[in-house]
Structure 1
Protein backbone atom coordinates (compact mmCIF):
# COMPACT_ATOMS: atom_id res chain seq x y z
CA UNK A 1 0.00 0.00 0.00
CA UNK A 2 1.34 3.40 -0.95
CA UNK A 3 0.02 6.55 0.69
CA UNK A 4 1.18 10.11 0.06
CA UNK A 5 0.75 13.31 2.06
CA UNK A 6 1.51 16.81 0.80
CA UNK A 7 3.10 19.80 2.48
CA UNK A 8 0.54 22.36 1.25
CA UNK A 9 -0.67 23.44 4.69
CA UNK A 10 -3.79 25.12 3.32
CA UNK A 11 -5.38 27.18 6.08
CA UNK A 12 -8.91 26.22 7.11
CA UNK A 13 -10.51 27.68 10.22
CA UNK A 14 -7.14 29.07 11.26
CA UNK A 15 -5.24 25.76 11.08
CA UNK A 16 -3.22 24.16 8.29
CA UNK A 17 -4.70 21.19 6.45
CA UNK A 18 -2.94 18.69 4.22
CA UNK A 19 -4.03 16.21 1.55
CA UNK A 20 -3.63 12.44 1.93
CA UNK A 21 -4.03 10.12 -1.07
CA UNK A 22 -3.24 6.48 -1.85
CA UNK A 23 -2.95 4.21 -4.87
CA UNK A 24 -6.61 3.25 -4.57
CA UNK A 25 -9.67 4.37 -2.64
CA UNK A 26 -9.75 1.05 -0.76
CA UNK A 27 -6.12 1.50 0.29
CA UNK A 28 -6.81 5.10 1.25
CA UNK A 29 -9.69 4.13 3.55
CA UNK A 30 -7.72 1.24 5.06
CA UNK A 31 -4.70 3.46 5.71
CA UNK A 32 -6.69 6.26 7.31
CA UNK A 33 -8.67 3.82 9.45
CA UNK A 34 -5.38 2.33 10.70
CA UNK A 35 -4.28 5.72 12.06
CA UNK A 36 -7.67 6.80 13.39
CA UNK A 37 -8.76 9.32 10.75
CA UNK A 38 -12.53 9.58 10.47
CA UNK A 39 -14.29 8.88 7.16
CA UNK A 40 -16.02 12.28 7.33
CA UNK A 41 -12.69 13.90 6.35
CA UNK A 42 -12.87 12.09 2.97
CA UNK A 43 -13.50 14.03 -0.24
CA UNK A 44 -14.69 12.05 -3.26
CA UNK A 45 -16.25 14.75 -5.43
CA UNK A 46 -12.95 16.40 -6.33
CA UNK A 47 -10.27 15.93 -9.00
CA UNK A 48 -8.82 13.11 -6.92
CA UNK A 49 -10.15 11.23 -3.87
CA UNK A 50 -8.36 12.41 -0.74
CA UNK A 51 -8.61 13.16 2.95
CA UNK A 52 -8.01 16.60 4.41
CA UNK A 53 -5.90 16.07 7.51
CA UNK A 54 -4.42 18.13 10.34
CA UNK A 55 -0.76 18.65 11.21
CA UNK A 56 -0.97 15.95 13.87
CA UNK A 57 -2.66 13.51 11.49
CA UNK A 58 0.00 14.26 8.86
CA UNK A 59 2.71 13.31 11.37
CA UNK A 60 0.84 10.10 12.22
CA UNK A 61 0.47 9.27 8.52
CA UNK A 62 4.20 9.72 7.91
CA UNK A 63 5.04 7.61 10.97
CA UNK A 64 2.70 4.91 9.61
CA UNK A 65 4.52 4.88 6.27
CA UNK A 66 3.01 7.60 4.10
CA UNK A 67 5.47 9.33 1.80
CA UNK A 68 5.78 13.08 2.36
CA UNK A 69 5.73 14.95 -0.96
CA UNK A 70 5.33 18.53 -2.13
CA UNK A 71 1.88 19.72 -3.15
CA UNK A 72 3.06 19.72 -6.77
CA UNK A 73 4.33 16.14 -6.51
CA UNK A 74 1.03 15.05 -4.96
CA UNK A 75 -0.90 16.43 -7.94
CA UNK A 76 1.40 14.59 -10.36
CA UNK A 77 1.03 11.34 -8.40
CA UNK A 78 -2.75 11.74 -8.29
CA UNK A 79 -2.88 12.31 -12.06
CA UNK A 80 -0.73 9.24 -12.67
CA UNK A 81 -2.98 7.09 -10.46
CA UNK A 82 -6.08 8.43 -12.20
CA UNK A 83 -4.58 7.82 -15.65
CA UNK A 84 -3.56 4.27 -14.74
CA UNK A 85 -7.05 3.52 -13.44
CA UNK A 86 -8.68 4.77 -16.63
CA UNK A 87 -6.23 3.20 -19.08
CA UNK A 88 -8.12 1.70 -22.05
CA UNK A 89 -6.58 -1.74 -21.48
CA UNK A 90 -8.35 -1.84 -18.12
CA UNK A 91 -11.77 -1.17 -19.62
CA UNK A 92 -14.09 -3.93 -20.81
CA UNK A 93 -14.32 -4.36 -24.55
CA UNK A 94 -17.52 -3.09 -26.14
CA UNK A 95 -20.02 -5.74 -27.10
CA UNK A 96 -20.62 -6.22 -30.79
CA UNK A 97 -24.21 -5.88 -31.88
CA UNK A 98 -25.80 -9.09 -33.03
CA UNK A 99 -27.97 -9.13 -36.12
Structure 2
Protein backbone atom coordinates (compact mmCIF):
# COMPACT_ATOMS: atom_id res chain seq x y z
CA UNK A 1 0.00 0.00 0.00
CA UNK A 2 1.80 3.08 -1.27
CA UNK A 3 0.76 6.52 -2.37
CA UNK A 4 3.38 7.98 -4.70
CA UNK A 5 4.13 11.56 -5.69
CA UNK A 6 6.42 12.78 -8.44
CA UNK A 7 8.44 15.97 -8.47
CA UNK A 8 6.27 18.83 -9.77
CA UNK A 9 7.52 19.83 -13.23
CA UNK A 10 4.43 20.43 -15.36
CA UNK A 11 3.62 24.16 -15.81
CA UNK A 12 -0.03 25.18 -16.10
CA UNK A 13 -2.41 27.77 -14.68
CA UNK A 14 0.33 29.89 -13.11
CA UNK A 15 2.01 27.13 -11.10
CA UNK A 16 3.92 23.87 -11.46
CA UNK A 17 2.09 20.55 -11.05
CA UNK A 18 2.94 17.01 -10.06
CA UNK A 19 0.96 13.80 -9.76
CA UNK A 20 -0.28 11.74 -6.84
CA UNK A 21 -1.09 8.06 -7.46
CA UNK A 22 -1.59 4.78 -5.63
CA UNK A 23 0.12 1.58 -6.68
CA UNK A 24 -2.57 -0.35 -4.79
CA UNK A 25 -6.08 1.00 -5.46
CA UNK A 26 -8.16 4.05 -6.30
CA UNK A 27 -9.80 3.66 -2.90
CA UNK A 28 -6.43 4.17 -1.22
CA UNK A 29 -5.70 7.15 -3.46
CA UNK A 30 -9.06 8.83 -2.82
CA UNK A 31 -8.79 8.22 0.92
CA UNK A 32 -5.32 9.77 1.08
CA UNK A 33 -6.40 12.72 -1.07
CA UNK A 34 -9.49 13.34 1.03
CA UNK A 35 -7.52 13.23 4.28
CA UNK A 36 -5.01 15.68 2.78
CA UNK A 37 -7.79 18.05 1.71
CA UNK A 38 -7.25 17.75 -2.04
CA UNK A 39 -10.31 18.88 -3.97
CA UNK A 40 -12.17 16.16 -5.90
CA UNK A 41 -11.81 18.22 -9.08
CA UNK A 42 -8.04 17.58 -9.03
CA UNK A 43 -8.62 13.87 -9.77
CA UNK A 44 -8.00 12.88 -13.40
CA UNK A 45 -8.94 9.22 -14.03
CA UNK A 46 -5.87 7.60 -12.40
CA UNK A 47 -4.12 10.40 -10.50
CA UNK A 48 -4.53 13.67 -8.66
CA UNK A 49 -2.87 16.77 -10.05
CA UNK A 50 -1.13 18.54 -7.17
CA UNK A 51 0.44 22.01 -7.18
CA UNK A 52 4.06 22.48 -6.16
CA UNK A 53 3.04 24.34 -2.98
CA UNK A 54 1.38 21.13 -1.65
CA UNK A 55 4.33 18.80 -2.39
CA UNK A 56 6.14 18.99 0.98
CA UNK A 57 2.86 18.69 2.89
CA UNK A 58 1.84 15.56 0.96
CA UNK A 59 5.25 13.96 1.49
CA UNK A 60 4.99 14.74 5.21
CA UNK A 61 1.54 13.07 5.19
CA UNK A 62 3.06 9.88 3.80
CA UNK A 63 3.27 10.18 0.01
CA UNK A 64 6.50 8.58 -1.22
CA UNK A 65 8.56 10.76 -3.59
CA UNK A 66 9.52 9.03 -6.84
CA UNK A 67 10.62 10.13 -10.29
CA UNK A 68 7.95 10.64 -12.94
CA UNK A 69 9.24 7.55 -14.74
CA UNK A 70 9.01 5.40 -11.60
CA UNK A 71 5.53 6.74 -10.91
CA UNK A 72 4.32 5.71 -14.37
CA UNK A 73 6.04 2.31 -14.21
CA UNK A 74 4.46 1.51 -10.84
CA UNK A 75 1.06 2.84 -11.90
CA UNK A 76 1.14 0.64 -15.01
CA UNK A 77 2.24 -2.39 -12.98
CA UNK A 78 -0.69 -1.84 -10.61
CA UNK A 79 -3.18 -2.04 -13.49
CA UNK A 80 -4.59 1.38 -12.59
CA UNK A 81 -2.98 3.39 -15.41
CA UNK A 82 -5.43 5.04 -17.81
CA UNK A 83 -3.70 5.90 -21.07
CA UNK A 84 -4.87 8.54 -23.53
CA UNK A 85 -6.74 6.08 -25.71
CA UNK A 86 -8.52 4.63 -22.65
CA UNK A 87 -9.77 8.00 -21.33
CA UNK A 88 -13.24 7.65 -22.83
CA UNK A 89 -13.82 4.35 -21.05
CA UNK A 90 -13.28 5.62 -17.46
CA UNK A 91 -14.75 8.93 -16.45
CA UNK A 92 -14.85 10.75 -13.14
CA UNK A 93 -14.05 9.42 -9.71
CA UNK A 94 -14.53 5.76 -9.09
CA UNK A 95 -14.27 3.53 -6.04
CA UNK A 96 -14.92 6.45 -3.69
**Could you tell me the TM-score, scaled by structure 1's length?**
0.74
Q: How far apart, in 2, do the equivalents of 1:14 and 1:40 lie?
A: 17
Give CA-to-partner distance per residue, 1:20-63, whole Å, 9 cap, x none.
Answer: 0012100001001111101110001xxxx000001122211100
Structural RMSD (CA): 1.3
Tell me the equivalent position of 2:38. Answer: 37
* Native 8 Å contact 2:8 2:18 kept in 1: yes
Shift of 1:68: 0.2
1:63 is the counterpart of 2:64: no
Instruction: Report 1 or 2 for greater relative contact order, CA contacts < 8 Å, sequence distance ≥ 6.
Output: 2
**Could you tell me the TM-score, scaled by structure 2's length?**
0.77
Tell me the equivalent position of 2:71. Answer: 74
Give every structure 1 segment of 4 or more consecutive aligned residues whose post-TM-superposition deviation is greater than 6 Å: none
Larger radius of gyration: 1
Paired residues, what number? 79
Contiguous gaps of at least 5 residues in structure 1: 84-99
* Native 8 Å contact 1:8 1:70 kept in 2: no
